[in-house]
Amino acid sequence: MLSRSRVVAAALLCLALGAAHAGDCVLKITRTACPTKEKESFSKCDGKASCSETVPAATASQCVIKAKASCANKRYDVTKYKKITAEYDGTAVEGGKDFCVGHPDYPYADKPDCK
């Protein structure tokens, strides 16, 4: 027979596990490489221009924060632009918005080369 303390402990464990469950935040990343830099720029997606990355997020709002943070680019002479959209639990976040539009790390986004 189960003691009352074991039942309470089991109930608390179930609540804690349920609250700790994070949804699936999938970032869909597409890179535009600087001329002749495709291999280096696409290396983070196994040599492809586009790939998806799953990151932990407890809410759709946290998924947005992760998407915006992923826009950072320190390789100005390698990656000309990144387009990042996000899905949270299978639903497009903010209508499939590109979170990198207007990001300051892409000074060459509208130029033919990376100069």
Q: Which residue ranges make up each domain of the chain?
A: 22-115
Residue-level pLDDT at 115: 86
Residue-level pLDDT at 21: 56
- Whose CA is closest to 81, among 33, 43, 113? 33
Cβ count within 10 A of residue 81:
22
* Per-residue model confidence as pLDDT tens for the chain (115 residues): 545 555 444 444 444 444 445 789 999 999 999 999 999 999 999 999 999 999 999 999 999 999 999 999 999 999 999 999 999 999 999 999 999 999 999 999 999 999 8
- The DSSP symbol for 22 reads P
Residue-level pLDDT at 23: 87
What are the beta bridge partners of residue 92? 87
- Whose CA is closest to 79, among 63, 64, 97, 100? 100
